[in-house]
Amino acid sequence: MKPTLTNLNDVLLGLLGAGAQVIGVVASWQEHLEWGMRVASLLVGIAVGVVTIISLRRRSK
C-alpha cells in the first residue's frame, strides 16, 4: 500500500499533537526543571573546582 498525502497528513498531525503534550508538561514543570538545572550546574562547578585544586596541589609537590 502506497502512502498517500492524507495518510502523511494524519501522521504529521499525530506528531504535532504528541509534541504539544510534551510542551505542556515542560511548561507546567518549568520551575522544577529550572531548579534542578541550577543545582546540577552548581554540583558540576564544585566538582571542577575540586579537580582543579587537586591538580594544582599535585603540580606544586
**For the chain, how many structural domains are there in total?**
1
Helical H segments across 1-61, by residue range: 5-28, 30-60
Lowest mean pLDDT segment, chosen from 3-12, 33-42, 47-56: 3-12
d(CA 4, CA 60): 71
- Confidence tier at 4 by pLDDT (50, 70, 90): low
| Full domain range(s) for residue 47 | 5-60
pLDDT in tens, 5-38: 678 888 888 889 889 988 888 888 888 889 999 9
